[in-house]
Amino acid sequence: MSAKSQGVQVVGLYVRDHDEALDFYVDKLGFRVHTDVKNGDYRWLTVQHPDQPSFQLGLFVPGPPTHDARTAQALRELVAKGAMPPLVLEVEDCRAACERMKARGVEITQEPVERYGNVDAGFRDPSGNGWKMLQARKGAH
């Protein structure tokens, strides 16, 4: 294997509805669709940030063939409560990104706060998944 083919390619996120998630991640956050295929009732849907084309965020609805009905319901409830680990979205200007998101109807759970030389804010997707938006201090990379 070459070095280009190694590493994490897809990280999955549970959502309650594919189309609702697609609208949120593409129309509100500016991601683009990478893969959207169906196999019967199963749908493999991934999106990617335009500045990170080698990484995909999988938008998966809990259920068959991966989960039985009881497990799927438990997962949907956990996601809706915001109990899943947050994801982090790096942005150049946290305050400006927060204002753009608010204008698009994104639920902001924490207004931008400056701490430790960074600026961060919080938001949720329609399924309940929590996100931190981070503007790293200048020269932190």
Q: pTM of the predicted model, to two decimals?
A: 0.87
Domain ranges, ordered by start, for the chain: 3-135
Q: For residue range 39-96, what is the model confidence (pLDDT) as tens digits?
A: 988 999 999 999 999 999 999 999 998 999 999 999 999 999 989 999 999 999 999 9
Which string of b and e fits 25-44 if b means at least 16 CB within 10 Å? beebbebeeeeeeeeeeeee
Distance CA 118, CA 137 (A): 5
Place of tokens 């680990």: 85
Residue 124, sorted as left (phi over 0), alpha (psi -120 to 50) or beta, turns out to be beta
Superfamily of domain 3-135: 2,3-Dihydroxybiphenyl 1,2-Dioxygenase, domain 1 (3.10.180.10)
Using the predicted structure, report yes or no on whether residue 140 has a pLDDT greater than 60. no
62: Cβ–Cβ under 8 A, 6 or more apart, which residues?
14, 71, 72, 73, 75, 76
As a whole-number percent, the residues of the chain with pLDDT over 90 amount to 82
